[in-house]
Chain A
Amino acid sequence: MSEKIKFTIDGKECYAEPGQTILEAALDNGVYIPSLCYLKDVIPAGSCRICNVKVAGRFMTACTTPVAMGMEVENDIPELNELRVSIIEMLFVSGNHFCPACEKSGNCELQALAYKYTMMVPRYPYLFPEKKPDSGNKKLFIDRNRCILCKRCIRAVKDEQGRSLFAFKNRGNELAISLDHELAENISDELAEEAMEICPVGSILKKEKGFQQPIGHRKFDKQAIGSDIKSVIK
């Protein structure tokens, strides 16, 4: 068995397996580092930037940076939390998010993070971008208004041959998710369900089913995001 790597997060002593990223190790050690684009067991994207931590005075994404021996990670500090709120606010103003009408409300990670960091109203003016939804698939509905471009679907939803069902299109502020209609034509119910599950917001929805779980009884209605990560003594 390989040696564990000792490091600290906000002064708390933690241990990591060799090769583990800061985020993975933090979760194992019962430390919550907020994240959005991170998805367990999938290659990290490092694109939402919410898991930004500081190591030796430098900002780095916890989901992509491997733990090194003796690393001193800063996580729950005002500077970083401020940055995280501001990123959440940017995600709100760069899309069109109408929580009360969204099927994902209560199960949405973006919304949950906004609550966690008590975002009242974004400091940034809304950009009101025009986004085209895509309803062309039999089972999936893609609402780009809510998409936060986290790449989770791109990285995780594949067909049997390993081909991506989703991909990015364009660049910059025109960036959008597109669904491969041919590959997704005969998508199974399970995969469609999984795609919806994987999406942290309400951008990928499975058709003909919705609001089964009443609002008020959903995951983050009961408890704040990250509160299930309990400190474990190792």
Chain B
Amino acid sequence: MRNTVQKIVQKAGNDRGRLMDILLEIQAELGYVSGEVTDQLAEELGISRVDVEQTLSFYHFFRQEPRGEYTVYLNNSLVANMMGRVEVAAAFEKEAGCKFGSVTEDGRIGLFETADIGMNDQEPAALINGKVFTNLTPLVVRELVSGMRNGKKVEDMIRNYGDGKNGSDLVRAMVHNNIKQKGSVLFSAYSPGEGLTKALQMSPEKVISEVKDSYLRGRGGAGFPTGLKWEFCRRANKEVSYVFCNADEGEPGTFKERVLLTEYPHLIFEGMAISGYAIGAKHGVLYLRNEYDYLKAYLESVLEEMHEKKLLGDRILDTEEFGFDIRIQMGAGAYVCGEESALLESSEGKRGEPRNRPPFPVEKGYMDHPTIINNAETLCNVVKILKNGSEWYTMLGSQESAGTKLISVSGDCKYPGVYEVEWGIRVKDILDLAGASNIQAVQVGGPSAECIGPADFNRTISFEDLPTGGSFIIIGNKRDLIGDVVTNFLDFFIEESCGSCTVCRTMPTILKNKIAKILTGHGVQQDLEDLQDWGSKMKMANRCGLGQTAANPVLSTLKNFREKYEGLIRKDVDFDSGFDLASAVVDSCEHVGRTPNL
């Protein structure tokens, strides 16, 4: 064991900056990172044990204790629940003989939950030893568990492979792409190198101005003008700079990057090379969320292929002056790492805590070098803009939002999947495309954005109206909006907060308790005022986008569905402590065999 660890550390050049890779590899070899291994790592890397532990304990998929020969991570997101996760979870527990959060006595099967694995269009889904299992039913679960009992290989438990590259040798996943609508930008004809060839015929400054003229804005959710970001970074004018591609889509309900990574990885990598040329960077890093580990080998083969075709490497397209390479950095399970500065921290082997700004990453990013971080979808757009020109691009979309957008549609509808639409499309039109009816609400942009009702279905998907990173969750009439939706989203934010800022660490729990009070019939008018007032502090007093928006599930439903809250509270009193004597004494009365005398 000591040798294994030593070899892994040496392979990473004894570099504490590569702690993520080191821990992931140790886990792949040894199953988990024991206390003994943690001590050894501290020693070999010349850091304190607690420094190793702080990274190790931050990420969801790192294990400090054995989690079974077969480790099941069942997705617990809202849409999974809608599609029957509860029955599937019960089946896992019954068949395996252990509860979620534990491992069977023989150490064979571990059952755990995880938040959103990017499979909302084929839920319930789970990761088993890194492999994706979709559309689970209790019957399938029984088969899976029996396979585990018989020592079957996980890859042999996959019965059918999905469409497109999902069925290729290096992927072999049962995931389906579910591309439901192709548009003229992303899901359109493409042959690798087209954009890059055009770019290299221009000066880097011209490439930046072309991207600026296209009015392309970041597709991860924040919508920062891409060309401007590049210009800032180029202006930093340092010897070394970096291009990062953010492929850490963790917002519940998005899965469009999964499809891009599966079907259009060349496009992403080419976009990275173009941006590298524009800002003067020689190195690119693709930060890939751990949930998409099943795509890693395939993505690496694409990188190799692009090297062979001179689309990457020392002398791209045989030019003297431009070389660019890309490595893949794996995440280990943390929603907050989708925030660009947290993503950099993570890539440096640390906890994924967002940084204070200024300085911005374009001045001081990865290892303190100027860095741009672009979303995978943004980079795909870049290639097409270079190929067809910014004028062509601005013809598409709406007033303030040029181009097209990938929307990940899931929830209560007939056709969940990825739709490429022009910005400016009405919510209603997407609902029609998806075959949705009897709709109560749509969560546009995921839990961190807005929950709207039918009165708003004429609004448009655009930066000027309803911006979205791509998540579009349809919530049918039969769902319990507060009990199921809001509560699930709050749980998500409680789980995913890095904990650094006081308010983000504390407030979601306070809000959740307040909602629980209302749901158990103890709510009064004041509680609604409190939810509003307390929730609004999140925006004021947190460092990053996660914290600032984590109260949105409450705030946006309070705004758009106030009647649902009003219907739950007591109108007969102004105050209810929330304390219920009868339920408080149930356990003690049962214990002593007495009936409560209230």
User: Is the Cβ of B358 less than 8 Å from the Cβ of A171?
Assistant: no
Q: Given that A93-B510, A94-B506, A172-B494 are contacting pairs, would A83 and B537 also be in contact in the complex, using a CB cutoff of 8 Å?
A: yes
Task: Flag A47-66 by CB within 8 Å of B: 1 or 0 each.
Answer: 11110100000010100111
A111 to B389, CA, bound (A): 61
Residues 73-84 of A, flagged 1 when their CB comes within 8 A of B and 0 if not, give 000000000010
Once the chains bind, are B47 and A171 in contact (CB under 8 Å)? no
* Complex: A175 Cα to B505 Cα, angstroms: 8
**Which single residue of chain A is at the shortest CB-CB distance from B47?**
A163
Check A174–B499 contact: CB distance below 8 A: yes
Mask, B498-515, CB within 8 Å of A = 1, is 111111011101100100
Interface residues of A in 58-114 (CB under 8 A from B): 59, 61, 64-66, 83, 86-87, 90-91, 93-94
- Let me know if A117 is at the binding interface, CB within 8 A: no
- CB within 8 Å: A-B pair count: 133
B53 touches A178 (CB 8 A): yes
User: Residue A115 at the B interface, CB < 8 A?
Assistant: no
Residue of A whose beta carbon sits closest to that of B357: A64
Q: Are B499 and A167 in contact (CB under 8 A)?
A: no
Q: Is B54 interfacial (CB-CB < 8 Å)? A: yes
Q: Does A180 contact B (CB under 8 A)?
A: yes
Check A49–B541 contact: CB distance below 8 A. Answer: yes
Knowing A49-B541, A59-B540, A93-B510 are in contact, say whether A169-B499 is a contact too (CB < 8 A). no
The answer for the CA separation of A80 and B276 in the assembled complex, in Å, is 42
> From A174, which residue of chain B is reached at the shortest CB distance?
B499
Residues of A within 8 A of B499 (CB): 149, 168, 170-175
B534 close to A (CB within 8 Å): yes
Q: Is the CB of A165 within 8 A of B48?
A: yes
Q: A168-B54, A169-B53 are in contact. Are A49 and B358 (CB under 8 A)?
A: no
Verify A90–B351 contact, CB threshold 8 A. no
Contact of B358 among A65, A94, A159, A167 (CB under 8 A): A65
CA distance A159 to B46 in the complex (A): 12
Q: Which chain A residues lie closer than 8 Å to B500 at the CB level?
A: 45, 47, 149, 151, 175
| Contact status A173-B497, CB under 8 Å | yes
| B44 CB-CB contact with A under 8 Å | no
CB distance from A140 to the nearest CB of B (A): 13
A87 & B503 in contact (Cβ 8 Å cutoff): yes
CA–CA, A172 and B550, complex, Å: 12
* Given A49-B503, A86-B534, A175-B498; 9 other pairs, CB 8 A cutoff: A61-B543, A90-B510, A94-B506, A167-B48, A172-B496, A172-B499, A172-B505, A175-B500, A182-B48
Instruction: Show the binding face of B for A, using Cβ within 8 Å.
Output: 39, 46-51, 53-54, 57-58, 334, 351, 356, 358, 494-503, 505-507, 509-510, 513, 530, 534, 537, 540-543, 578
Name A's B-contacting residues (CB within 8 A): 44-50, 52, 59, 61, 64-66, 83, 86-87, 90-91, 93-94, 123-125, 127, 148-149, 151, 159, 161, 163-175, 178-183
Question: Could you write out 20 A-B pairs with CB less than 8 Å apart?
Answer: A45-B356, A49-B502, A59-B540, A64-B356, A90-B502, A90-B503, A93-B510, A127-B510, A159-B48, A163-B46, A163-B48, A167-B51, A169-B50, A169-B57, A171-B334, A171-B499, A172-B494, A174-B499, A178-B50, A183-B49
